Amino acid sequence: MNIHTLQIILMLLAVAVLTVTLFRRLHLPPILGYLIVGILVGPFGSGLIASNEETRFLAEFGVVFLLFAIGLEFSLPQMMAMKGAVFGLGGSQVLLTGLIAGLIAWLLGLEPAAAIIVGAILALSSTAIVIKQLSEQVELNTEHGRLGVSMLLFQDLAVIPLLVVIPILVSDVEQGLLLPLSWAVIKATAVFALIMAIGHWVLRPLFHEIARARSAELFTLTVLLVSLAAAWLTHEAGLSLALGAFLAGMMLGETEYRHQIEADIRPFQDVLLGLFFVTVGMRVDLISLLPLLHWVILLSMVLILIKATVILLIVRIAKRPLSAAFRSGLLLAQGGEFGFVLLDLSLQSSLLPIKTGQILFAAIIISMAVSPFLIRYSGKLTETFCNLRPAEDDHTKIQDLEHEAEGLEQHVILCGYGRIGQNLGRLLEHEGFPYVALDLDPTVVREAHEAGEPVHFGDASRNEILDAAGIGRAGVVVLTFEDYPTAMQILHHLQHIAPGLPVLVRTKDDTHLEELEAAGATEVMPEAVEASLMMGGQLLLLLKVPGSRILKIMREIRENHYKLLRDFYHGQEAIDLEHDEAFQERLHTVTLPERAFAVGHTIEDLHLWDWDVSVTAVRRGGIRGEAPEPETRLQAGDVLVLAGTAHHLEHAEGLLYYGL
């Protein structure tokens, strides 16, 4: 690697980090950030990086790993259970959208083969954007969420034959499609049978042996070998790399190692897929698009309108509620990442004119930029345009919930009916306290309801659901799930509609304890800390400590917000950046050498509190002193126990050693 190449890599990484960080702050998909990076550094932008075959070949591995991950999620039994929504609605959406878009492209002067590909490109939506936004809004289990995911699954499957068809359209368009397409199907079938046979007879025993070695490194290497070998096999057969990766993922998705494989492949997928989108952005010529900007904006608006309308119609024809149909249309109205894959392949194959490709690139990017906002406000848009309040599909469920809660006074509302919610429900029933439970898992709700338990499908963050559950007459609300953003949303709602109502909140740990209490939580129960407290109580009981003393200790610890148990020494476990654990207070020990700056100074002299760091104990001569006085003068060999965040502890350590 020469210095020039290293400079290019450093520039690309720096711009990518800055851009993706900005997009995350704005709650926009990182995909758009990667595209903008490509536009900025590409040959049509600043010209810092050239678009060549080597760069595009490396970026293609991002698509390979994405198809591999989708294959892991592909389950034949699950597909059969969802066949109506996946193949019926999904197939209709791709076919109708593709036909309309292709017909418009043909009427505008494109060749039939090119028009077919344009229709296929515009029929696809963004799996990454939709899944991410639905997850953040806790709407994956809603009716429109399930419909959207079903249609996305069919779109992802439809990409596979399209990757096979595009090279055929280029090489044999003048000789007819039947013979080459038939030959491609035969080859694909043979490769599929070969890979599935290898998976059944070779890979499962192989992974059993790899798992016995208990080596994470060996396991990851094996996953990479299998995915890339399958991609190479289909490529050698004249098919796409991505097809082999999908088949390998589908094969391994049926094994017990699926979740571990998905976790191991995720870093490679994210990094290489990001590189793919950077190379896509490098192909966008903003200068040449400026005179065509009005056409680009018009195309993106037409794309959103046509896709939303088609989906609305086919969902309504399937006798689904209007609100679910309208929101499903908004959900999938954008272009998608696989559209970029097909578009890039079409341009490389000269199937599409460069100018047409540029317009399509820009229009899809604009539709993807608008999409998160359409999804976020789809509920309000549905109410506005469909005049639905509440939505039709919720009306019957809300009536059932109102009937269940009718006449209840001082009852408990359980938000979430998983393991903890069910245990609380049984405890309440055993003691004769009335309750109503809400959950978004249709299977749990159906089975519990059939068993006669007062459980209903409903999103507890919606005011009308809480009203139907009798929030004005309730005695206590319990949030039994771990989702911090949703808990904060519900607490804010409760502050407006039922101020003063006791709210018990469950959390995984004490990371957000203060924020939840400030938002209105009466009690916050962090699982990790409570488990320590309960185990400590049992330990003291075994040590013959009187029960009254144990109860007093536990009460004092809870009243002090678990202060005694919240600080702890962090080992070498990975830091979860998504949950800001790097900013959680922890304990850290520092031993003062003879020449340390802090030697001879008092604790007060050091002003450690300026960094939000406190000295919880000093160990000297084998004797530990808890909560030392500020006037304590430090000596060489003292061991200081510090409490603070990782960032502040680093500064405090520098001050103790060097006075910095």
Question: pLDDT digits over 352-376, tens only?
Answer: 888 888 888 888 888 887 888 888 8
Q: Say whether both 635 and 515 belong to one domain.
A: no
CA distance 64 to 160: 12
20 located within any domain: yes
Owning domain of residue 295 = 3-172+268-386
The better pLDDT of the pair 656, 157 is held by 656
Q: Which of 472, 504, 521 is the last residue of a domain?
A: 521
pLDDT of the residue at 376: 81
- Give me the pLDDT at residue 74, please: 64
10 Å Cβ neighbour count for 315? 27
- 477 in any annotated domain: yes
In the predicted model, is pLDDT for residue 5 greater than 50? yes
In a domain, residue 189? The reply is: no
Average confidence (pLDDT) over 303-311: 92
Residues 421 and 464 in one domain: yes
433 and 299 inside one domain? no
Mean predicted confidence (pLDDT) in 148-175: 72
Residue 328 sits in a domain whose CATH number is: 1.20.1530.20
Name the residue type at position 29: P
The verdict on residue 635 lying in a domain is: yes
CATH number, position 466 = 3.40.50.720
- Quick one: what percent of the chain has pLDDT higher than 70? 83
Position 318 scores a pLDDT of 86
Using the predicted structure, report yes or no on whether residue 392 has a pLDDT greater than 50: no
Choice between 530 and 100, residue whose per-residue pLDDT is larger: 100
What is the predicted pLDDT for the residue at 477? 92
| 417 and 336 inside one domain | no
Closest CA to 600 of 640, 631, 637, 634: 634
- The verdict on 16 and 130 lying in the same domain is yes
Mean pLDDT of 335-358: 82
Question: How do residues 105-146 score in pLDDT, each as one tens digit?
Answer: 899 888 888 888 899 999 998 877 787 677 666 676 677 887
pLDDT reported for residue 581: 44
Q: What is the pLDDT confidence band of residue 584, given thresholds at 50, 70 and 90?
A: low
**Number of domains present in the structure of the chain:** 3
Q: Is residue 157 domain-shared with residue 20, that is, in the same domain?
A: yes
Based on the fold, state whether residues 29 and 77 are members of the same structural domain. Answer: yes
DSSP class per residue in 12-60 = HHHHHHHHHHHHHHTT--HHHHHHHHHHHHSTTTT-SS---HHHHHHHH
Residue 550 belongs to a domain: no
Sorting pLDDT into bands at 50, 70 and 90, what band is 313?
A: very high
Of 87, 59, 66, 62, the residue nearest 249 (C-alpha): 66
The backbone torsions φ and ψ at residue 616, rounded to the nearest 5 degrees and listed phi first, read -85, -20
- Same domain for 317 and 278: yes
Angstrom distance (rounded) from CA 590 to CA 318: 67
In a domain, 200, yes or no: no
Q: What is the mean pLDDT of residues 156-160?
A: 76
Q: How far apart are CA 31 and CA 253, in angstroms?
A: 26
Same domain, yes or no: 372 and 411: no
Q: Which residue has the higher pLDDT, 569 or 182?
A: 182
Q: What is the mean pLDDT of residues 646-660?
A: 77
Q: What is the rounded average pLDDT of the residues 629-644?
A: 86
Which ranges constitute the DSSP H helices of 389-471? Answer: 392-405, 419-431, 442-450, 463-468
Residue 414, beta-bridge partner list: 437, 478
Whether 486 and 621 map to the same domain: the answer is no
- 509 shares its domain with 415: yes
What value does the mean pLDDT take over residues 542-560? Answer: 79
Q: Which of 364, 386, 408 corresponds to the end of one domain?
A: 386
Q: Which of 31-35, 165-169, 568-572, 628-632 has the lowest mean pLDDT?
A: 568-572
Residue that terminates a domain, selected from 521, 556, 591: 521
438 DSSP β-pair partners: 415, 456
Reported as a single tens digit per residue, the pLDDT across 500-530 is 889 998 887 767 778 888 888 888 888 777 7
The CATH number assigned to the domain holding 594 equals 3.30.70.1450
- Axis crossing angle, helix 112-123 with helix 337-348, rounded to the nearest 10: 160
| Closest listed residue to residue 146, CA positions, set 136, 158, 134 | 134
Would the pLDDT of 177 be above 70?
no
Q: Is residue 347 part of a domain?
A: yes
When pLDDT is averaged across residues 446-457 and rounded to a whole number, the result is 79
Is 322 within the bounds of a domain? yes
86 and 153 share one domain = yes
Q: Give me the mean pLDDT over the 236-249 stretch.
A: 75
